Structure 1
Amino acid sequence: MPKRIKLDFGSLEFHENFVISEINEGVHFAAKQNRVLISLCLEHFKDQPFGYISNRIYSYSVDPFAYIESENIENFVAMAVVVSSSAQRLSSKIEGLFCKRPFKYFYNLESAQVWIEKTINTGEIPSG
């Protein structure tokens, strides 16, 4: 059973090998929020390789520079973004330029989960 954590800016759902985030409507996601996510991921996954799935069910903005700190997490393997519009797809493509890990967008959560699991199971942890 996944562990769910409610935050003031959204929620996280921790699975065995990945975390799914759902950020609240209208939030500007920046370094401050990212530090909270990093801390919770490090606490949950410890040294185990993990992936991050951003399930964009609400509209919010992302500061792409928030990814900079994530690059220091050695066991952070890949990131998937689940989009529902062409605007979200375009935003995720721009964000992907700032992420040094494997980064891919999807139109449904199930496809993102399959890709994250497959990427983790290759055993290749990108160097940060």
Structure 2
Amino acid sequence: MEATLPTRQKLILEHRLDIGRFLFYTNMVIGEFDEGIHVTKRNAAKAIEIALQLYGGRTSIVYISHRLNSYSMDPVGYGEIVKMFPNFIGFAVVSRNRYRRMLAAIEKLFIKKPVGVFYDLEAAFTWAEDLLLKPRE
């Protein structure tokens, strides 16, 4: 990932897990899953645990799925994970692959929060920062 992204976000922690790399910013988490991984709530538990420790239930966060690799996931687990984070306010998908961006339309059915789909990480950061500035209901 480029280190020169224009953002007000501060990188708090970078963590390498068995399923991929996670970057935890002030109000954003970027997940980059490894090639060929099948992501489930179970194997994502460590990343979820780290996020819960860092953000608790008060800090608003946006999750950015930086899809550099090809992998599969269990979309049914989305709803369960979202419920664990009452402070989760949005989800972004970043991919240069048209097919992977199209899959995000299916994911929107499982995530009852704003979802953005982007070609590059910079656009996702801009969208997420705008979302974080909006008043919450």
Instruction: Return the TM-score normalized by structure 1.
Output: 0.91
TM superposition shift of 1:70: 2.2
One of 90, 93, 108 as aligned partner of 2:120:
108
The 8 Å contact of residues 14 and 20 in structure 1, kept in 2 or not, is answered as: yes
The 8 Å contact of residues 55 and 83 in structure 1, kept in 2 or not, is answered as: yes
Q: Tell whether 2:82 aligns with 1:71.
A: yes
Q: Tell whether 2:47 aligns with 1:37.
A: yes
One of 19, 29, 37 as aligned partner of 2:29:
19
Helix, strand or coil for the counterpart of 1:91?
helix
Q: In the alignment, what sits opposite 2:106?
A: 94
Helix, strand or coil for the counterpart of 2:43?
helix
Q: In the alignment, what sits opposite 1:85?
A: 97
The higher relative CO (CA closer than 8 Å, separation ≥ 6) is in 1
Larger relative helix fraction: 1
Q: Mind listing any 5+ residue stretches in structure 2 that lack a counterpart?
A: 1-9
Q: In the alignment, what sits opposite 2:73?
A: 62
**How many pairs align?**
125
| Percentage of identical aligned residues | 34
One of 56, 59, 62 as aligned partner of 1:48:
59
Helix, strand or coil for the counterpart of 2:112?
coil
Q: Mind listing any 5+ residue stretches in structure 1 that lack a counterpart?
A: none
What is the identity, as a one-letter code, of the residue corresponding to 2:89?
A: V
The 8 Å contact of residues 61 and 88 in structure 2, kept in 1 or not, is answered as: yes
One of 113, 129, 133 as aligned partner of 1:121:
133
